[in-house]
Each structure stands twice: as structure tokens, then as C-alpha cells.
Amino acid sequence: MPILPRIARRRRLLAIGAAAAVLATGASIPAHAAPALQEVMFVGNNWEGTATVIKARGDFARIGRLNVIPDKDKRLQEIYLDPIKLLFFLGIRETAGEGHDQFVDDMYATPDGTALVASRPSFADVVSIDLATGQLKWRFPVSGFRSDHMAVSPDGTRVAVSASTSNTVHVLDINTGQELGKFATGDKPHENIFSKDGKRIWNMSIGEVNNDFDAPWQDFLKGDRKVTIADTSTFKVVKTIDMRPRLDAAGRKDLSDAVRPAALTPDESKLYFQVSFFNGLAEYDVATDQVTRVKTLPENPDTSDDRTTYVNDSRHHGLSMSPDGSKLCVAGTMDDYATIVNRATLQEGPLVPAAKPYWATVSGDGTACVISESDADQVTAIDFATGKKIISVPVGDHPQRVRLAHIPADWTSPTA
């Protein structure tokens, strides 16, 4: 046998022997290390159909941008060839979209950080977009004609999405888009929250926000509004909460029972929530099943009292909580401010001017609240400790949802 083949064969045998020796010790052969990830924020620019990617702390600088509607022409062709789909598409534009198409609502990253998963209201779907190429990986059409808010499970493997015209929440495998289960809700399911252990999903339905029956005496025309809690293993509804009698018992018959953005305390003993038409928030005690406190926040004197002018019935829309549970961050949408509220006293801090703030989330390091200013096309960070503005960062057209995510450390925007 020639010398070189003998040497190559000997090296292969030595390698096999070494691997066998490692396995004999009970150890494993190291695999390729997972790529390093960086913590970022996805900002969904609803009317533009893009996601701006920014740093999750510090100067919140822009990192890149992703097209969330790379298949726009194909989707529009399908819609214009179907009269029913076209009717709903145009209806969304004229109502919830304020004259614009709603191309991106909610967003999360897959656990490995390689894809963005987004709900697209006007296209009635959820899609996964490869962060490296910008191309679709999978698409899930929701039941009905509009998708809305989402939530991701604590382990990052499942995503729940509200199908707002079919009164359904779908739960999907975030990596494949396969439906794992679904459950029925009240009218117009909206906000979703997973419990800390991942065993429950809380869904808040907001009712018929697209009609102008907004006077208090017309409240009965707003539909069936309730909190629905479902088991994430069986997808059976384990509890429903109608806030109407609970608000009445707390002396607030004047408030709508349409629960909008909400936040659970770290120990999940209390739920804080906003309701339609109201500049403030309520506190619900989970154990006693009672609304225990209601906080009215300041009115902007320039805000109209005409409730039909409130965007989708929401006077205030956006609520988050500091990681230690001591502070709440409130987006005062129609009142054009945001404020930090002390949870113990429910006393608000400085009113930070903001142009139609539409969402509130928490920075990666937990020290700041980040709101989307939908009328100014920017996001603004507010310090939880002082209640003062830190910085504003320009994004895209009509930012709404802002979510934390982890993506590759060396990520750059894919080319068109």
C-alpha cells in the first residue's frame, strides 16, 4: 500500500478510537457552538409593513430594517380576486387602519433567533420571515379575515394569535407554523398573555370597536366582552371573567368592560388593565376575583370628549410593568402623553409628551419603558426610576407593537 493512503487510514482509525474513548467516559462530542445572539427590539411599522430593529437598551440605536410583506403582490392578487376578502380588506383599511392598510401588528423571534414571526392584520395571517434572506419561511392564514395581537410562550416555542373576526385564538408552533390548538373567545379577541409557567393563556376581547355606537347607553351594542383563560395543553377554556359585574361592584358602572392591554404582576396575583374610552386603569385581584382599585389619570384639555374620535375606542392603549412589579408604564394614546405610575399608590409621575402613543413595553435591562409614538413615527424610552424621558429614536410609518427579541449578533438587514 502506498505510504500516503496508509497514513490517512491510520489517522482515521486514531480519530475513531479517540471518539470511542470519549463516549466510553459518558461525555459527548462537542457540536458546533450556537451563534452568539444580541438582544434587540422589533418595532412594527403598521402602515408601512416593516419592522425596525433597534438596540434593547442604552441609546436604543437603530440596527436595521426588515420588510414584513415580501409577498405583498401575491397576497393582494388573492384578495382582489375574492369579493368577500376584498370587502374585509377595505373595511379594515377604513376602520381599524384609519384609512391605511394594516400590514404588521405583532412580532417575535424564533428561539434560535433566525426568523421574525409576525401577525399581519390586513392579510389575515401569521408569517415567519428569515432574518438572513428576508424571505418567507412559513405562512398561517388565521380563521376569519383579520389577525391581531400575539403572545409567545415562556420557552419561546409557541405563539398565540388573536383572529379578531372569528373570535378565536390560534396557538402555533413558532418554528413550523403548525397549529397546535385553538380556543373560542369573546367578540374581537385582542391582547394575549401567557402565564409564567406557560400553562395558561389569558385573552382579552374588546368587542365591536369598529362601530360608532359609543355613547354609554349604547354599550349593549358592543358585543360579548370578557377575559378568557385557556389551558395550553388541552386548549380548553378553564375560566371566563366578565368585568361588568366586577366593575359595577367597585362602583364604576360608568366604565366600559372591554379589557384592552393588560399586565400581570410577577407573582400573578393581580392584573392591571385598561378599558375602552377611559383615561386610566383598573386593578383586579386574581384570588378574590374582584376589581380592587381604579385609577383615573389626567385628561389632556385638548382631547375631545367625542368618544367616536377615539382610535378603535381606545383613549389609553399601552401598559407594561417594571420587572420588580413596582411601576406601571401607561400610554395615554388620545391624551398624547405617557407616564410612570407607582403601583403601590397608583400615583402617576411626570406626564411625558408623546404623539399618540400606542404601546408600552420594557427595555432589555428592565430600567426603562419604551413606548411607540404612532403619530411621530418614533419610539421613546422613559426611565422607570425618574419617570423622565431618556431618548427618542425615529422608526417607520405608524409604529405600534414593540417587542423584545434575540437575533444573531452579526445581523444586518437583508438586501432587497
At residue 32, the pLDDT reads 56
* Number of other CB atoms surrounding residue 246 within 10 Å: 18
* AA identity, residue 127: V
b/e map of 350-367 (b: 16 or more CB within 10 Å)? ebbebebbbbbbbbbeee
What CA–CA distance (Å, rounded) separates 9 from 393? 61
Closest CA to 319 of 334, 300, 340, 336: 340
What CA–CA distance (Å, rounded) separates 241 from 247? 11
Contacts of 26 (CB under 8 A, 6+ apart): none
Sequential DSSP letters for 241-274: E-HHHHHHHTT-TTS---EEEEEE-TTSSEEEEE
DSSP structural state of residue 348: B
Long-range contacts from 84-92, C-beta under 8 angstroms, 24+ separation: 84/145, 85/124, 85/145, 88/124, 88/145, 88/146, 88/165, 89/122, 89/145, 91/210, 92/121, 92/122, 92/145, 92/146
Contacts of 362 (CB under 8 A, 6+ apart): 320, 321, 322, 323, 329, 368, 369, 370, 404
At residue 253, the pLDDT reads 96
22 sits in which H/E element: helix 3-24
Architecture of domain 37-408: 7 Propeller (2.130)
Residue 232 phi, psi dihedral angles, 5° rounding: -85, -5
Contact predicate 189/159, CB 8 Å: no
At residue 33, the pLDDT reads 63
At residue 25, the pLDDT reads 36
**Whole-structure pTM value:** 0.91
At residue 208, the pLDDT reads 94
- The one-digit pLDDT tens for each residue of the chain (416 residues) are 443 344 344 444 333 343 333 333 344 434 456 779 999 999 999 999 999 999 999 999 999 999 999 999 999 999 999 999 999 999 999 999 999 999 999 999 999 999 999 999 999 999 999 999 999 999 999 999 999 999 999 999 999 999 999 999 999 999 999 999 999 999 999 999 999 999 999 999 999 998 999 999 999 999 999 999 999 999 999 999 999 999 999 999 999 999 999 999 999 999 999 999 999 999 999 999 999 999 999 999 999 999 999 999 999 999 999 999 999 999 999 999 999 999 999 999 999 999 999 999 999 999 999 999 999 999 999 999 999 999 999 999 999 999 999 999 999 999 85
Instruction: Using CB atoms within 10 Å of the CB of residue 198, give its burial: 0 to 12 exposed, 13 to 18 middle, 19+ buried.
Output: middle
What does the block give as the cell for 195?
Answer: 402565564
Contacts of 217 (CB under 8 A, 6+ apart): none
At residue 35, the pLDDT reads 76
16 sits in which H/E element: helix 3-24
At residue 415, the pLDDT reads 80
What CA–CA distance (Å, rounded) separates 56 from 39? 6
At residue 74, the pLDDT reads 98
DSSP structural state of residue 228: E
What CA–CA distance (Å, rounded) separates 262 from 108? 18
What CA–CA distance (Å, rounded) separates 322 from 132? 32
What CA–CA distance (Å, rounded) separates 188 from 300? 28
Closest CA to 247 of 217, 281, 207: 281
At residue 13, the pLDDT reads 37
* AA identity, residue 300: N
E strands, 195-236, where?
200-205, 227-231
What CA–CA distance (Å, rounded) separates 414 from 135? 9
